A = this chain, B = another copy of it.
């Protein structure tokens, strides 16, 4: 005792949270920095996770009648300018295409040539370019609702980037719908928020609060922005999916009109909603520990790794045959609509092998050596438990129960995260207490403090922005559920009818 337990990741969360995050991503082999400022390379282990996220979300969208389509990467500058708040919101972070070829310079190098008449913006989001198509697709109320989704890359030129959480290019889906009435569009906005919330909780095992953004945090051009907010292990908030009611703003900008059933021409009502590779960052920061990533089984890049233990060369044939037959048996099983994904790792690299899979966060590690085979047993380690906490199980029992074990891990991760959020969420009614809550104590890692403060707010921009100025704390959301309750604004003491969620945020 006395000696510090070694962890696979240095530094630990408590020592330096943001550096821990970078190291966890690196050790998991999920992504790399790229030589292009702020862009990331998503490696196979990270991309497989994204494929699973896409697969589940895509099905959930399609179940609500949404169809996929694809629209241009480029948006003419004049399109972006059509909605005043929208262009204002994105002008500071646009990649701009100005030329369409390269020409030899006198020194032999190449320079941009073939200047475009009008600059093109690499889409930061596609309301305006999709709106142009919608204006052609919609002419009668019979064409509505129009329910479209796009899986795509988008670019927002960020100055400070962090892999998965904030990158200049990221992958996402953006849903865009058109409706005949405001009510129907509002209903769709809420429906898609529900989809995101359900996905986050049931698949990412990430508890979320469903809420509404304040005016200052709204999507540029939206009438109303709904969101799901999760708490990371440094107690900061992470916005993990947003659903916007756009009113008629973008319909006016793009001339999306329809003939109503009473033969009047009307502007339509639109929504948009999106979730991105940021979810992967959220998942890592929700579940990861000082040994690396922990992947929730329902979206995990793979479910089980089989690690044959071969100490003597003459054991290889027997052990590998056993392992391969077990692989086959496992791969025939289904877990949440996909077949179990099983890896065999027979590299002879000692303890580094197991640690690599721990760092990658695979839910189940299974060791199999000659003695296990004699006993028809396997030696199972769960990623949600300590790395020494392994169990010998009869092979048949393991195969029979493997999907239950995975669901137990899934459940366990969710409950742990929920307990964590509860432990760091607090009603605060006193201004001094509020300021102390969001100020690091000397004894703490300066990045880990605070949490979700549920406090009253008068509804004024001024109080919100003062708090942001003083503490870098923002209103993450006004929760959709939860009781109305009379109180006084934590900043100005003005009247308030409900608590909102204050937190530092990514």
Contact = CB atoms under 8 A, between A and B. Distances in A.
Interface stretch (A63-71, A196-204, A367-375, A450-458): A63-71
B100 A94 contact: yes
Interface in A5-64: 32, 34-36, 39-44, 46-48, 50-51
B112 A72 contact: no
A110 interface: yes
B91 A95 contact: no
Given A68-B51, A79-B35, A110-B91, A133 B100 contact: no
A176 to B, nearest CB: 12
- Number of copies of this chain in the oligomer? 2
B99 A96 contact: yes
A81 B109 contact: yes
Nearest to A122: B97
A479 B153 CA distance: 38
A68 B96 contact: no
B98 A99 contact: yes
A70 B47 contact: yes
Contact of A87 (B51, B99, B110): B110
Contacts of A32: 133, 136
A44 B74 contact: no
A92 B97 contact: no
A112 to B, nearest CB: 4
A112 B119 contact: yes
A101 interface: yes
Interface in A130-158: 132-133, 136, 148, 152-153, 155, 157
Contact of A96 (B44, B87, B100, B129): B100
A169 B96 CA distance: 16
B109 A36 contact: no
Residue in A39, A71, A81 whose Cβ sees the most chain B Cβ within 10 Å: A71
A97 B95 CA distance: 6
A76 B122 contact: no
Residue in A75, A93, A96 whose Cβ sees the most chain B Cβ within 10 Å: A96
B48 A67 contact: yes
A75 B169 CA distance: 12
A362 to B, nearest CB: 15
A445 interface: no
Contacts of A74: 36, 39, 95, 169
Nearest to A169: B73
22 contacts: A34-B132, A36-B75, A36-B129, A39-B74, A41-B70, A41-B71, A43-B69, A47-B69, A51-B68, A72-B169, A91-B101, A93-B100, A94-B99, A94-B102, A95-B97, A96-B98, A97-B97, A98-B98, A98-B99, A98-B112, A112-B119, A152-B153
